[in-house]
Amino acid sequence: MRPRTIGRLGVFVVTVALLGVVVVLSLMVGRQAISPGEVIRALLPGATGDNADIVRGLRLERTVIGLVAGLALGAAGALMQALTRNPLADPGLLGVNAGAAAAVVTGFAFFGVADGFAQTGLGLAGAAVASVVVYLLGSGSREAATPARLALAGTALTAVLFSYINAVAMKDQASFDEMRFWVVGSVVNRGYDRLLIALPLIVVGVLLALAMTPALNALSLGDDSAHALGLGVGRARIAVAVAITLLCGAATAVAGPIVFVGLTVPHVARRLVGADQRKVVPLSMLLAAGFLVFCDTLGRVVSGGAEIQAGIVTAVLGAPVFIALVRRRTLVAA
């Protein structure tokens, strides 16, 4: 027992260290070659000039936004997989991201809502409505909402909503640039003001997520066993669903729809620390934050001239990792 515990603690230590490395890389690496010394000078208070604009203005902001959005998505993914007892569950898969994006796009295209505060609200509302719709579709008959039915309902709703988003984005030339962001997520120039609006929601979501991890452990034994253990199954489900909606809605309002982070990262976390949600959820947060920042950094330098949005890089990197995990058949059940 003892060495295993140390091993798990070690996993967290290594993850935090890696996260630090990723953050440093994100500040150091970009389209403009700036030496490490100059990067540090640019970060000092009072620094001005091109390097300060680039390092403090662009790189630091996208790093912070990547960290927060990644953390929220990682937590939401882990919660969702545990809640639905479905290893394929993902906020993207269950329509939550698409719901948030569709609501913001609707507000922007038809009612001219461009204000960050209103957009965050719309994102949350969209996420909530999409979760409810998926849940209703998934439990449409006499049977309860099984993981498979939920995943099918979510996939169908996501497909519908993304066709809608694409259609709206294509229709309005003047706002096409703004809309494109709601098709592929990105952490570039999102603005701290937007982040500040979403931050309280993410904090509440994270606290709720961490508080619910023991209940999730009980739920993983099946509803009957959980009930026998004295857990209010319905209430626990609702609390977790609220946390997922807060986290996904807020993350999507800040960074747009980012896929495969919430799906892939919890699998990696479970391989590292086992099925105990008290460890899986926080580790997923750390890993996802690092993963998103890393993907954003990679997107800056891999292509010839332009940058590639973080939302594309996460899909390119996340999908094969996920396929490899599935193919090895050692998918740790949530």
Partner 1 sequence: MNSRLTRLAGAALAVTVSLALTACGGDDSAEPAASATASGPFEYKDALGKDIKLDQTPTTVVAQSSVAAALWDAGFQVKGAYGELKPDAAGKLSYQAGSLDLSKVTVVGSTYGEFDTEKYALMNPQLLVDYTFDNKALWYVPAAQSEKILSLAPGLAVPGNYKTTDEAISTMVDLAGKLGADTKGAALTTAKTDYESALTAVGEAAKTSGLKVAIMSPGTDSLYVADPAQLPEGNTLKNAGLDVISPPNPKNEVFAQFSWEKAVDFKDADVILVDARTYDASKADLAKVPTWANLPAVKAGQVYPWYAAAPYSYQSYAKIYNELAGELKSAKKLS
In the complex, which residues of this chain contact partner 1 (CB under 8 A)?
30-32, 50, 53-54, 56-59, 114, 170-178, 180-181, 186, 188-189, 191, 193, 300, 305-307, 309
Place of tokens 């990067």: 39
Q: What is d(CA 302, CA 297) in angstroms, rounded to the nearest whole number? A: 9
Q: What is d(CA 272, CA 176) in angstroms, rounded to the nearest whole number? A: 42
Give Cα 146 distance to the centre of its chain: 23
Smallest separation, CB 8 to partner 1 (Å):
39
Smallest separation, CB 111 to partner 1 (Å):
13
CA angle 54, 59, 60 (to 5 degrees): 115
C-beta of 144 vs 306, nearer to partner 1 = 306
Smallest separation, CB 47 to partner 1 (Å):
12
Smallest separation, CB 308 to partner 1 (Å):
10
Smallest separation, CB 62 to partner 1 (Å):
10
C-beta of 302 vs 323, nearer to partner 1 = 302
C-beta of 188 vs 242, nearer to partner 1 = 188
Q: What is the 3-state secondary structure (H, E, C) of the chain?
A: CHHHHHHHHHHHHHHHHHHHHHHHHHHHCCCCCCCHHHHHHHHCCCCCCHHHHHHHHHHHHHHHHHHHHHHHHHHHHHHHHHHHCCCCCCCCCCCHHHHHHHHHHHHHHHHCCCCHHHHHHHHHHHHHHHHHHHHHHHCCCCCCCCHHHHHHHHHHHHHHHHHHHHHHHHHCCCCHHHHHCCCCCCCCCCCHHHHHHHHHHHHHHHHHHHHHHHHHHHHCCCHHHHHHCCCCHHHHHHHHHHHHHHHHHHHHHHHCCCCCHHHHHHHHHHHHHCCCHHHHHHHHHHHHHHHHHHHHHHHHHCCCCCCCCHHHHHHHHHHHHHHHHHHCCCCCCC
C-beta of 23 vs 281, nearer to partner 1 = 23
Smallest separation, CB 285 to partner 1 (Å):
26
Crossing angle of helices 192-219 and 233-255, in 10° steps, is 150
Smallest separation, CB 49 to partner 1 (Å):
9
Smallest separation, CB 248 to partner 1 (Å):
22
C-beta of 15 vs 297, nearer to partner 1 = 297
Crossing angle of helices 147-171 and 60-84, in 10° steps, is 140
C-beta of 84 vs 119, nearer to partner 1 = 119
C-beta of 21 vs 167, nearer to partner 1 = 167
C-beta of 116 vs 205, nearer to partner 1 = 116
C-beta of 57 vs 147, nearer to partner 1 = 57
Smallest separation, CB 19 to partner 1 (Å):
23
